Structure 1
């Protein structure tokens, strides 16, 4: 099975799962599903017989058969592991590893239990992150924010969304909102632009926008709903690029030397700091900045904005990639063996409200590793 077949398989499975969960499909997903149903009578029969996620998990191995008997036995073993996990009710995460493709790619489907139980936290377990951040003013003043959903800038300073005053900003021109590992926060800027800041991130901004441009600086990851103002473009700067918008919705991930701009609505111009030629994105497109170059391609935007809605998500991602998101949200460090290499790829969809042990159980079953919590470190073997 080639890479395109794998990507198509992942896409169909995600769409079928959304149908079962009664989640509305995008226009692109509806078109993809219609084409898939019309392609083969077997596909239509499969779709009409689907009843629930368990049916989907058990049927996928027939829809997308593996290449060898040994792989099929491995699939059977993983499915049995999944059922054992479901029986012990691992805080709603019950991992379902249902198919091994010819390239060694695994699919992970998240099952949510209808019955919610209060989790019991072991002594060596770690709770998920929460709403927490710090504001630092250009005057040197700073304040730690309470566990509110967000803050906004008003005439006298900052207030929580419920109207409670937070901080007076007399004589300050700039401020920086900083989220630690294990924290996230939302802010409404003076022009009405809303920014959701992911864990281990910072946003520098003026308390009042002046001049012809509204300019902010981002480190880490932020989701932007920019207030429309054609006369004053909104500029987001990172250490590698600039994103120029008038009024739009996009996500910017800038943790490392590879940065991702994902456009949900509107239009943005992505330009390298040392370049004068921008790349213009359309909704559903993503710009990847790496090695002083910009690559634009079409993607499913939902896979890149799940963090804002309380999910850790990813399609065909490796352990170390998803591990970095887990590190940021749970404020832990993954410790890998020397020369560690894991070729498994997975579709991941995990609630950020789970305790760390439940997440690691799913990771173990998905990637075929063992994970042990020691303080704030997670040892992988």
Structure 2
């Protein structure tokens, strides 16, 4: 059953696309004059459009009802006008699909409230999606939703173009790809992916850190490309970290095969991790799952780690610039944990255990 207000939303879509007929315009105006609730909804939609909140608008639409309405319009148009209506309907269809994909594939970002003495940048940074054609849209406050099977509805080539999901420092984000694969992205990371996977493979490109739960498809391998490796899987769970000079792939479940840019090959079993650097190539070793995956819970464990490496994590997680004022401080080894919402506690512990003090200057953190 079509919701009571759905016809108002459909009229609004048609008005935006220039599809609203004279007869429907008259019906709309009558409805707006005589139905206070409809008028209120129309004004709300106009306000959303003025503030460019297109995602929120599309999320509340019933796509099946909208597309059905478009098809009815097309079927009732005289033959000589059909090409024009087809173009309009096709454009609306693609825009609707893009909007729904953007709103349905993304979950809530982790908004990290700083503690009292941690400064906040005046210019708020949000997770953003850059479409294949260069258009950019912020992804704010979207809740996870099931994936729609759009491969069966359209083969529009734009849907197979690569888009880029940008996760800035201080944020993390989860995306559900069109095949159902789930990807968790850590702070300061990028994922390039298509809305729909075409061809015989499912390929994405990662910078930063991401945890993948890949849906199994024997006929369509999933490949994660990094700067130095290509990770090929069928269906599995694994973490990829490309932050530093050494890339690490840690396998939790299933099997993966890695190919490095130098031609070296390596297969991993669960519980093993690959490390790659240009000097030694691919190396396999065991790893502690809790340590590698703790970032997904907002915790970073470290043992005898140089402060210079912890500095990098602090900059990514808290969106601050960290400066080590004392010579040799970067080589000082530290053990403990860092929690995303408790930077001040970590700094206090650092002062207590290691006599390393701190101060803020704007958005710059000094350790000394």
TM-score using structure 1 length: 0.59
Q: Secondary structure at the match of 1:183?
A: coil
The residue aligned with 2:183 is: 195
Aligned to 1:281: 268
CA distance in 2, matches of 1:120, 1:202: 27
Matched residue, 2:252? 264
Partner of 1:121: 116
Q: Which residue of 2 aligns with 1:72?
A: none
Cα distance 1:331–1:151, how it changes in 2: closer, same or farther (>3 A)?
farther
Q: Distance in 2 between matches of 1:195 and 1:146?
A: 17
Is contact 1:149–1:186 with CA below 8 Å preserved after alignment?
A: no
1:246 paired residue number = 234
Q: CA deviation at 1:339?
A: 4.1
Q: Distance in 2 between matches of 1:136 and 1:231?
A: 29
| Alpha carbons of structure 1 residues 320 and 211: separation in structure 2 relative to 1, 3 Å | same
Does residue 147 of the first structure (1) align with residue 141 of the second (2)? yes
> How far apart are 1:358 and its partner, in Å?
2.3
Q: Where does 1:55-94 land on structure 2 (aligned, <5 Å)? A: none
Cα shift at 1:198? 0.7
Change (3 A) 1:119 1:334: closer
Query: What is the CA deviation profile of residues 338-371 of structure 1, one whole-angstrom value per residue up to 9, with x for unaligned ones?
Result: 74345543432232122x3222212333443112
The structure with more strand, counted as a fraction of residues? 1
Alpha-carbon distance in 2 for matches of 1:131, 1:264: 32
Q: Per-residue deviation at 1:132?
A: 4.1
- Say which SS state the counterpart of residue 236 (structure 1) adopts: strand
In the alignment, structure 1 residue 301 sits paired with structure 2 residue 289: yes
Alignment of 1:1-381 (within 5 A): 121-122=116-117, 125-126=119-120, 132-148=126-142, 154=148, 171-172=158-159, 173-275=161-263, 277-292=264-279, 293-337=281-325, 339-354=327-342, 356-381=343-368
Q: Are the aligned partners of 1:179 and 1:200 in contact in 2 as well (CA < 8 Å)?
A: yes
**Greater RCO (Cα-Cα under 8 Å, separation 6 or more):** 1
Deviation at residue 153 of structure 1 after TM alignment: 5.7
Q: Distance in 2 between matches of 1:205 and 1:222?
A: 13
Gaps of at least 5 residues in structure 2 are 1-112
> Please, which runs of 5 or more residues in structure 1 have no aligned partner?
1-117, 158-168
Deviations 1:28-65, CA, capped at 9 Å, x for gaps: xxxxxxxxxxxxxxxxxxxxxxxxxxxxxxxxxxxxxx
Determine helix, strand or coil for the equivalent of 2:224.
strand
Distance 1:270 1:170, change over 3 A: closer
Partners of 2:188 and 2:316 within 8 A in 1: yes
Structure 1: distance between partners of 2:327 and 2:284: 32
User: Against the structure 1 CA distance between its residues 153 and 170, is the aligned structure 2 distance closer, same or farther, given a 3 Å change threshold?
Assistant: farther
Superposed CA deviations along residues 300-332 of structure 1, whole A, max 9, x for unmatched, are 121111111121222332211122111101101
Q: Which runs of 4+ in 1 moved over 2 A?
A: 124-127, 147-157, 169-174, 337-351, 356-359, 362-368
The structure-2 alpha-carbon separation of the partners of 1:155 and 1:175, relative to structure 1 and needing over 3 Å to count, comes to farther
Q: Secondary structure at the match of 2:220?
A: coil
Helix, strand or coil at the partner of 2:309: helix
Q: Name the structure with the higher helix share.
A: 2
**Distance in 2 (alpha carbons) for counterparts of 1:281 and 1:131:** 37
Rate the CA distance shift 1:261–1:149 in 2: closer, same or farther, 3 A. Answer: farther
- Contact 2:229–2:258, Cα closer than 8 Å, also in 1: yes
Give the total of aligned pairs: 248
Q: In the alignment, is the contact (CA less than 8 A) between 2:324 and 2:330 conserved in 1?
A: no
SS in 2 for 1:244: strand
Paired with 2:324 and 2:314, the residues of 1 have a C-alpha distance of: 14
283-292 vs 227-236, which moves further: 283-292
